[in-house]
Amino acid sequence: MRAALRFRLIERRVASPDSWLLRFALPPALRTLTDDPALQTGLKAIHEGAEKSYSPVSHPAERGSVDLLVKRYAPQPGGGISDSLCSLAVGDEAELRIKPPRQIHGSAAVARRWRQLGLVACGTGIAPFVQILRMLHLDAAAEDRTEVSLLSINRTVDDTLMRREIDELAASWPGQRLKVRGGHI
């Protein structure tokens, strides 16, 4: 198991009425979360002995920082991690552990794996898909031809997380291969 590291919060912005986009500086010993930009990775936040996994919404090879999308929940016994993260002020530190690359269908590689990919997300469940979209988008110029359909279901329009970022990716995706649909329950 990898050792926990201290990540300093360098930016925070409201993503929805109860969610935050938090940008953390990588510890000085790290340039990126992973040495291989084709591998999707995650983080575990640690607070008072409890751990919770988070999927970054930034590309895993982004230099110097990592972005997390965190929905604030009221603290519960043995928990309170999301509340702790959302309560951080710029300059505060969080204890995070880098998880090993995520295995999807037996492989950690994302680019050039599928001809078509359908993604269905709800709330902060959009986070791992935003990371995948950024990885495929970056690789699109390098001959990846994956066609992606993303369906994001939320309670209200205000609950649609990362919508602006996803729309920007869709608009700039080569050949309009990213189709985004939204729905409300």
The CATH number covering residue 138 comes to 3.40.50.80
Q: Are 94 and 121 in a shared domain?
A: no
Helix, strand or coil for residue 163? helix
What integer pLDDT is reported at residue 102 of this predicted model? Answer: 65
Identify which of 146, 106, 142, 141 has the alpha carbon closest to the alpha carbon of residue 129: 146
Whole-angstrom Cα distance, residue 167 to residue 165? Answer: 5
In a domain, 79, yes or no: yes
CA distances from 71 to 18, 54, 74, 87, 112 (A): 6, 11, 10, 11, 31
Q: Which two tokens stand for residue 162?
A: 């990362």
Q: Are 15 and 89 in a shared domain?
A: yes
Give the chain's domain count.
2
In a domain, 72, yes or no: yes
Within 10 angstroms of residue 90's Cβ, the number of other Cβ atoms is 11
Q: Could you read off the pLDDT of 50-107 as tens digits, one per residue?
A: 899 998 999 888 899 999 999 998 887 767 899 999 999 999 999 999 887 765 555 5
Tell me the mean pLDDT in the region 36-46.
77
In percent, the amount of the chain with pLDDT more than 90 equals 31
Q: Could you read off the pLDDT of 111-136 as tens digits, one per residue?
A: 667 778 888 998 888 988 888 888 77
In a domain, 64, yes or no: yes
Q: Are 121 and 180 in a shared domain?
A: yes
Domain final residue, candidates 50, 66, 98:
98
Whole-angstrom Cα distance, residue 80 to residue 73? Answer: 7
* Cα Rg of the chain (Å, integer): 16
Q: Are 127 and 84 in a shared domain?
A: no
Q: Are 58 and 92 in a shared domain?
A: yes
| Bigger pLDDT: 85 vs 30 | 85
Query: Is the per-residue pLDDT at 175 higher than 80?
Result: no
Extended beta strands in the chain, E state: 5-16, 19-25, 43-47, 50-54, 65-71, 93-98, 116-122, 147-154, 178-184
Output phi, psi for 111, to 5 deg: -65, 145
The domain of 138 spans 116-184
46: CATH: 2.40.30.10
Domain final residue, candidates 64, 98, 132:
98
